[in-house]
């Protein structure tokens, strides 16, 4: 491992605010009385429920089957009785159908759950196992992992990168995972490399986590072809395209995917989930969640069963501290503000942020002063001020010409804007409209 | 429980706000303002006060009349007022700064849509208008009141401005004030132009606070240094670049005027082009033009070109496949 530190152009340096949880070991949270497991965990079609109210389910039992290739099954995160299947608040989609299970507290194991060994499984078997275990991207978007691991034949993949940047302020879930469980991270990477037949693997970590760099570097010493890369600490270092550039120097073409430049990126949490699914046979039924912010009495990193309501998780951290102003699922730069604490933890929930009034600024937009700070900060080197100005005027054609569709919605522009212009917010709207238009012209043809 | 705030990301913001940036500019100008009072006396303070007051009041009145929200608390009018005062000789009649600031705000800034929409630097445009309307007031210089500080200085400060001497318009090179007098500000010139030390102090502050970046000022000054050295009065490579850098309004112009957000390019490459362009025009005017000073006009000319520069210097985006341009 060299001392060289890799980065990208642009970006911003928000306060880290990681101090309150970065040194706290992950605690296992007691499973709640009721879990609400959404049948849809990510974009795409929701799962078909495999159970009905009144059914007894065991821990790890498959309860939802995806309808297409771009989907992952969901599993019972407790043993007990299915109470109902109903619409519940959803942290990423507002509302969604969920299986409600009453926990019997026995954690009775499903009989399909048998430990296996990476070495003895073939690439195909590994990929099936990853699909069956319901593994999705744990960094936030929760995209089904087996899809990422099935590139078309003509794409020549030669590099796998594990994303351990964790560049969002406040979040420390990946950091703790790397420090406490480097074995799983590395074994997961090995499994991914085996599935893709790739010989080169990198684990990329921001250099504000020297302990994680150290531990992981030790763990990969004896693994051929795998290296730790230190990244500059800046946001959005963990964004896929910026990460690929920092590690390999390659640029994903506009409108393309990482596989177009021979790279597959997975989160360190995803790799660890894969390793655990192989080694224990247990599908993805729990994840590490950073619970923090000024509105939480005792900020913690918790290992939480999927489907646990946010309010139970906050309770497990000593409850609320005063009046919460904002609750965010994920980090403060890209996370989603929640309207209720009744939403359940899903596979992509990396953090629960409870912010107080003092921590929340309500932006009051003024006129753009043309300071150029958004241009300098944009990691995609776009011109946010112009794209946004056209978008706000409804001139989406001009927005599109200025590459609105290349925006990764990292929020750097809005973060840095001294006039508090709603930059990424309006660009997001433009992207939606442009996508919709493209879809319509495509279907009209 | 009170309802939770629901808004789209990001949920945190940098500390920079428009008002904070403008306040920083005022802070950065204070050392130079203090030096102006020290060298030119209470009248300097009066000119600055009137100019700022007139700018702020004009902004408030115009916004009221146009039924727009009054935004004088964003400090931007104060910045314009102070900048204009810095560009006036200490001898001007007291109504001149009042009229100048009103022109800057009403005509150059608000008429084009207010903050961020003016395509020229309001203070500089107003200065140019004043210079055309009242050329005598605008070019009557006074000796600093501290001339008697030392015998050397008394000798040093002649009746011509250093730039006019450099050009050979008045006096001879022997009459050039010593460099230290120019740099300190103990010389003839506009209120805020003269003390380079004070201006540079403020510039360092602005760079440190990231209110401005190095691109425009460094490329501007660098170009002037290079060109005035090459195009010297006694043939190629005989110019006195050091005097050119520290005389006249170059330091003020490069760090505080050319960097005006609204009227300069937003792209990094564009900012360098702006600086070089200003440098070339300034040097040409200083060496060949009819005026001794070219900073004001060079910046105003480049202001007009800024939107065009932006258009042609759009950064190449990440992953761009260049089929079109
Ligand atoms: S950061 Fe804000 S004020 Fe500055 S140029 Fe961009 S949009 Fe305008
Ligand atoms: S325009 Fe998009 S990619 Fe660029 S800074 Fe803003 S959100 Fe990020």
Does the distance separating the beta carbons of A411 and B318 come in below 8 Å? no
Q: Is the CB of A35 under 6 A from ligand 2?
A: no
Q: Is the CB of A410 under 6 A from ligand 2?
A: yes
Q: How far is B257 from A140, CA to CA, in rounded Å? A: 45
State how far residue B315 is from chain A, nearest Cα, in angstroms: 6
Residue B171 CB neighbour total at 10 angstroms: 16
For ligand 1, atom 2: residue with the closest CA: A417
Burial label for B238, CB within 10 Å (0-12, 13-18, 19+), is: exposed
DSSP string, A35-58: EEEES--SSSPPPEE---TT-EE-
Which residues have CB under 6 Å of ligand 1? A 368-374, 384-385, 416-419, 421, 423; B 266
Q: Is the CB of A383 under 6 A from ligand 2?
A: no
Q: Residue A231 domain-assigned?
A: yes
| pLDDT the model gives residue B158 | 43
Three-state DSSP at A27 gives strand
**Residue-wise pLDDT tens for chain B (325 aa)?**
678 999 889 999 999 999 999 999 999 999 999 998 988 888 999 999 999 999 999 999 999 999 988 888 889 999 999 999 999 988 899 999 999 999 999 988 988 888 888 888 999 899 999 988 988 888 777 767 654 343 344 444 444 566 776 666 555 666 667 777 777 766 777 887 778 889 999 999 999 999 999 999 999 999 999 999 998 877 888 888 888 888 888 999 999 999 999 999 999 999 999 999 999 999 999 888 777 678 989 999 999 999 999 999 988 899 886 544 3
Q: Is the CB of A412 under 6 A from ligand 2?
A: yes
A119: confidence class by pLDDT, cuts 50, 70, 90: confident
Q: Does B15 touch chain A (CB under 8 A)?
A: no
Res A271 pLDDT > 90:
yes
Q: How far is A243 from A250, CA to CA, in rounded Å? A: 10
Q: Residue A429 domain-assigned?
A: yes
Q: Residue A69 domain-assigned?
A: no
Domain count, chain A: 2
pLDDT digits (tens, 9 = 90+) for A24-58: 999 999 999 999 999 988 877 789 999 999 999 99
* Domain boundary pick from A280, A313, A334: A280
Domain of residue A430, residue span = 373-444
pLDDT digits (tens, 9 = 90+) for A388-413: 999 999 999 999 999 999 999 999 99
Q: Residue A182 domain-assigned?
A: yes
**How many Å from the N-terminal Cα to the C-terminal Cα in chain B?**
54
Residues A128 and A257 in one domain: yes
Highest mean pLDDT among A320-324, A339-343, A358-362, A439-443: A339-343
Res A1 pLDDT > 70:
no
- Which among B11, B265, B318 has the least Cβ separation from residue A251? B318
Q: Residue A35 domain-assigned?
A: no
**Is the separation of the CB atoms in A18 and A34 below 8 Å?**
no
- Which among A12, A252, A419 has the least Cβ separation from residue B319? A252
pLDDT digits (tens, 9 = 90+) for B222-280: 999 999 999 887 788 888 888 888 888 899 999 999 999 999 999 999 999 999 999 99
* Domain boundary pick from A280, A304, A322: A280
Q: Residue A220 domain-assigned?
A: yes
CA B152 to chain centre: 30
Q: Residue A250 domain-assigned?
A: yes
For ligand 2, atom 3: residue with the closest CA: A407
Residues A254 and A126 in one domain: yes
Q: Which residue of A has its CA nearest to B268?
A: A376
| pLDDT the model gives residue A78 | 96
For ligand 2, atom 6: residue with the closest CA: A413
Res A414 pLDDT > 50:
yes
Structure tokens at A368: 């753009």
Ligand 1, residues A385, A391, A426, A427: which to mutate, most atoms within 8 A of Cβ? A385
Three-state DSSP at A77 gives coil
| Whole-prediction pTM | 0.90
Res A353 pLDDT > 80:
yes
| pLDDT the model gives residue A142 | 84
Residues A273 and A380 in one domain: no
Strand order from edge to edge, sheet including A159-164: A5-6, A226-231, A200-206, A159-164, A263-267
| pLDDT the model gives residue B152 | 40
Residues A153 and A16 in one domain: yes
Does the distance separating the beta carbons of A334 and B319 come in below 8 Å? no
Q: Which residues of B touch A360 (CB under 8 A)?
A: 5, 11
| pLDDT the model gives residue B169 | 57
Distance A54 CA to ligand 1 centre (A): 57
Does the distance separating the beta carbons of B11 and A326 come in below 8 Å? yes
Q: Residue A266 domain-assigned?
A: yes
What is the CATH classification number for the domain harbouring A157?
3.40.50.11540
- Which among B3, B13, B315 has the least Cβ separation from residue A415? B13
| pLDDT the model gives residue B181 | 73
- Which among B4, B71, B267 has the least Cβ separation from residue A326? B4
* Domain boundary pick from A280, A296, A327: A280
A444: confidence class by pLDDT, cuts 50, 70, 90: confident
């Amino acid at each position: 491992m060299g001392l060289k530190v890799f980065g990208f152009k642009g970006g911003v340096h928000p306060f880290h605010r990681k101090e309150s949880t970065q040194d706290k070991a992950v605690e296992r949270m007691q499973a709640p009385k009721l879990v609400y497991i959404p049948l849809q965990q990510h974009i795409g079609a929701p799962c078909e429920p495999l159970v009905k109210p009144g059914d007894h389910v065991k821990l790890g039992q498959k309860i939802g089957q995806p309808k297409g290739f771009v989907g992952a099954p969901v599993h019972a995160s407790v043993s007990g009785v299915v109470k109902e299947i109903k619409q519940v608040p959803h942290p990423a989609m507002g509302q969604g159908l969920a299986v409600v299970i009453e926990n019997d507290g026995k954690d009775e194991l499903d009989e399909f759950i048998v430990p296996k060994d990476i070495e003895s499984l073939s690439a195909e078997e590994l990929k099936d196992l990853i699909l069956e275990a319901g593994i999705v991207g744990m960094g936030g978007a929760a995209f089904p992992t087996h899809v990422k691991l099935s590139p078309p034949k003509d794409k020549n993949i030669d590099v796998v990168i594990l994303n351990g940047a964790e560049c969002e302020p406040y979040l420390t879930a990946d950091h703790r995972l790397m420090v406490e469980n480097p074995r799983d991270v590395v074994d997961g990477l090995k499994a991914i490399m085996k599935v893709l037949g790739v010989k080169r693997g990198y684990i990329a970590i921001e250099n504000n986590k020297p302990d994680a760099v150290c531990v992981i570097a030790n763990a990969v010493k004896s693994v051929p072809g795998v290296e730790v890369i230190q990244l500059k600490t800046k946001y959005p270092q963990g964004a896929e395209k910026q990460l690929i550039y920092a590690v390999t120097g390659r640029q994903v073409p506009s409108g393309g995917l990482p596989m177009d430049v021979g790279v597959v990126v997975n989160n360190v949490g995803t790799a660890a989930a894969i390793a655990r699914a192989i080694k224990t046979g247990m599908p993805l039924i729990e994840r590490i969640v950073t619970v923090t912010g000024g509105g939480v009495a005792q900020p913690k990193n918790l290992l939480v069963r999927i489907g646990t309501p946010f309010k139970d998780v906050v309770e497990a951290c000593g409850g609320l501290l005063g009046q919460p102003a904002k609750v965010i699922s994920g980090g403060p730069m890209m996370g989603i503000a929640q309207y209720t604490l009744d939403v359940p933890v899903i596979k992509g929930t990396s953090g629960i942020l409870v912010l107080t009034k003092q921590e929340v600024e309500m932006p009051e937009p003024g006129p753009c002063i043309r300071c150029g700070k958004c241009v300098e900060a944009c990691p995609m080197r776009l011109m946010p001020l112009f794209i946004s100005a056209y978008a706000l005027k409804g001139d989406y054609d001009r927005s599109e010409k200025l590459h609105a569709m290349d925006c990764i919605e990292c929020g750097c522009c809005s973060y840095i804007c001294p006039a508090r212009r709603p930059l990424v917010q309006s660009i997001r709207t433009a992207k939606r409209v442009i996508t919709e238009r493209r879809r319509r012209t495509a279907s009209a043809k | 429980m009170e309802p939770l705030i629901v808004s789209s990301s990001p949920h945190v913001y940098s500390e920079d706000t428009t008002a904070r940036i403008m306040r920083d500019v005022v802070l950065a100008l204070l050392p130079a303002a203090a030096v102006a009072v020290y060298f030119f006396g209470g009248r300097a303070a009066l000119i600055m006060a009137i100019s700022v007051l007139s700018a702020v009041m004009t902004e408030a009145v115009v916004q009221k009349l146009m039924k727009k929200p009054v935004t004088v608390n964003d400090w931007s009018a104060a910045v314009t007022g102070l900048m204009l005062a810095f560009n006036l000789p200490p001898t001007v009649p007291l109504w001149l700064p009042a009229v100048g600031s009103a022109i800057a705000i009403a005509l150059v800034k608000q008429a084009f849509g207010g903050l961020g929409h003016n395509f020229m630097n309001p203070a500089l445009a107003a200065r140019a208008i004043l210079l055309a309307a009242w050329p005598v007031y605008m070019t009557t210089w006074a000796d600093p009141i501290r001339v008697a500080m030392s015998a050397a200085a008394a000798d040093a400060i002649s009746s011509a401005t250093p730039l006019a001497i450099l050009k050979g318009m008045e006096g001879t090179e022997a009459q050039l004030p010593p460099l230290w007098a120019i740099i300190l500000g103990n010389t003839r010139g506009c209120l805020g132009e003269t003390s380079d030390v004070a201006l540079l102090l403020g510039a360092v502050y602005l760079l440190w606070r990231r209110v401005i970046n190095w691109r425009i000022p460094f490329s501007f000054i660098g170009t002037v240094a290079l060109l005035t050295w090459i195009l010297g009065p006694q043939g190629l490579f005989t110019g006195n670049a050091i005097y050119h850098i520290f005389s006249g309004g170059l330091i003020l112009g490069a760090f505080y005027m050319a960097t005006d957000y609204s009227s300069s390019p937003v792209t990094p490459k564009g900012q360098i082009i702006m600086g070089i362009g200003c440098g070339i025009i300034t040097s040409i005017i200083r060496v060949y033009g009819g005026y001794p000073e070219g900073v004001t006009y060079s910046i105003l000319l480049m202001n007009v070109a800024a939107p065009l520069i932006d258009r042609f210097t759009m950064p190449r985006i990440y992953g761009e496949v260049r089929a079109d341009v």
